[in-house]
């Protein structure tokens, strides 16, 4: 009776093992029926990660006060070219004041930077030519007086030969002509008739040749010193005078842009000294020669400077309008943000609450407006002021 009892125990073990297997199969099929992945096929790591954060921001009513929103509009952008150059005197209005004759400077009468009028004395010169002319004048005057007295004496005599009268008359007329020529020779040096009469009366020469300013303007150079020997045309000139109401702006542009420039085009100039000022003028000359090293050509502009605020050597930035304005989609500069990688972005909205970042392509800039070449449509609602605020808000780390 003991043997059957062992058989029954083995049978019971087999039945229990079979039940465990069946239960496992049932559970496995049940999991498949609910769409669950089998345990030997885990979920991929990329699918487990969260989706990329959309560049958008939702603003509260209080935050909305920090920005301005308006429909995207248009603006007429002038087509302009820019270049850097320097200021110089207008050489057409600048004169180097040489004397007409050689001499030694006696006295200087004007200082560097002084304003002078046309005809104002600048310096005096001791000129050998003037001394010679004045000496001839005094001699001619004395001869004329002598011949005139002789003529009067002859005319007062009775019984004198007619030939003697004619000779005295001829001598007096010759002396009178020589005196007139001598007066004209001295007058060439700038002496007045009153000064000439005084020299004749005193029989003393005035060696000072006065050199006058040929134009009204400003003393821009002064090399004159007492005792300095000056010759006509020998540099440096004793004085230089310039009309400073106009200046030259000399700028270099690349040779590929030469066709864009024409004489008479309006020019706007800015200098560092007056960052908020705009000086106006026009293109007056386009030089023929192109620099073989830089491949640039010089463009000269005449700039109005009635208050003499521009000085030679100043660095200047000039803008020339080369074509008529172009109407284009535009956004105020405060509505455009430049990212660290150079990308330009704007913020758009449909409900004035939810704002989405938009990458745009920009072009010209003028008067606080930025030309939008791509990325925005006219009429779209966009942030026109405070775009940086939105970008900072989006990039800020979440608070705890």
pLDDT at site 162: 80
pLDDT band of residue 135 (cuts 50, 70, 90) is very high
Q: What percent of the chain has pLDDT over 70?
A: 85
More confident residue, 133 or 160: 133
pLDDT band of residue 77 (cuts 50, 70, 90) is confident
Cα separation, 272 vs 255, in Å, equals 26
The predicted model gives 360-366 an average pLDDT of 89
Contacts of 100 (CB under 8 A, 6+ apart): 189, 232
Contacts of 72 (CB under 8 A, 6+ apart): 329, 330, 331, 372, 376, 377, 378, 379, 380, 381, 382
pLDDT band of residue 10 (cuts 50, 70, 90) is very low
Cα separation, 276 vs 229, in Å, equals 47
pLDDT at site 13: 47
Name the strands in the sheet holding 208-212, side by side, starting at the edge strand that comes first in the sequence. Answer: 208-212, 121-126, 103-108, 229-230
pLDDT digits (tens, 9 = 90+) for 177-199: 999 999 999 998 888 899 999 99
Contacts of 284 (CB under 8 A, 6+ apart): 248, 263, 300, 301, 302
Could you name the CATH architecture of 83-90+242-325?
Answer: Beta Barrel (2.40)
Could you name the CATH architecture of 97-237?
Answer: Orthogonal Bundle (1.10)
Is pLDDT at 26 greater than 50 in this prediction?
A: no
Q: What percent of the chain has pLDDT over 90?
A: 59
Contacts of 82 (CB under 8 A, 6+ apart): 317, 318, 319, 320
pLDDT at site 54: 61
Beta-carbon neighbour count of residue 3 at 10 Å?
6
* CATH number at 56-75+326-395: 2.40.420.20
Is pLDDT at 16 greater than 80 in this prediction?
A: no
pLDDT digits (tens, 9 = 90+) for 310-333: 999 999 998 888 777 889 999 999
């Amino acid at each position: 009776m003991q043997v059957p009892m062992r058989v029954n125990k083995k049978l019971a073990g087999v039945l229990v093992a079979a039940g465990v297997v069946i239960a496992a199969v049932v559970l496995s099929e049940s999991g498949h029926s609910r769409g669950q992945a089998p345990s030997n096929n885990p979920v991929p790591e990329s699918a487990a990660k969260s989706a990329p954060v959309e560049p958008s921001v939702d603003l509260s009513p209080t935050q909305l006060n920090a920005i301005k929103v308006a429909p995207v509009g248009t603006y007429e952008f002038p087509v302009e070219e820019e270049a850097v150059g320097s200021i110089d005197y207008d050489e057409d209005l600048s004169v180097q004041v040489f004397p007409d004759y050689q001499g030694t400077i006696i006295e200087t009468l004007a200082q560097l930077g002084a304003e002078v009028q046309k005809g104002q004395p600048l310096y005096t010169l001791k000129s050998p030519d003037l001394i010679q002319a004045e000496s001839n004048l005094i001699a001619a005057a004395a001869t004329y007086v002598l011949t005139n007295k002789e003529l009067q004496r002859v005319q007062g005599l009775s019984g004198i030969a007619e030939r003697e009268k004619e000779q005295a008359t001829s001598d007096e007329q010759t002396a009178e002509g020589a005196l007139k020529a001598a007066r004209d020779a001295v007058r060439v040096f700038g002496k007045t008739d009153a000064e000439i009469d005084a020299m004749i009366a005193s029989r003393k020469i005035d060696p000072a040749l006065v050199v006058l300013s040929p134009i009204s303007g400003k003393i821009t150079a002064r090399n004159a010193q007492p005792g300095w020997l000056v010759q006509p045309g020998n540099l440096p000139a004793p004085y230089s005078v310039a009309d400073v109401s106009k200046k030259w702006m000399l700028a270099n542009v690349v040779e590929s842009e030469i066709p864009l420039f024409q004489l008479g085009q309006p020019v706007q100039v800015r200098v560092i000294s007056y960052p908020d000022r705009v000086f106006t003028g026009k293109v007056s000359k386009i030089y023929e020669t192109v620099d073989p090293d830089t491949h640039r050509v010089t463009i000269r502009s005449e700039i109005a400077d009635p208050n003499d605020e521009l000085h030679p050597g100043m660095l200047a930035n000039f803008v020339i309008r080369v074509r008529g304005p172009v109407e284009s989609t535009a956004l105020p500069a405060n509505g455009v943000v430049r990212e660290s990688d150079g990308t330009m972005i704007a913020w758009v909205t449909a409900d004035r609450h939810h704002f989405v970042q938009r990458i745009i392509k920009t072009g010209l800039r003028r008067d606080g407006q930025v030309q939008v070449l791509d990325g925005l449509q006219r009429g779209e609602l966009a942030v026109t002021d405070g775009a940086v605020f939105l970008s900072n808000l989006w990039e800020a780390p979440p608070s705890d």
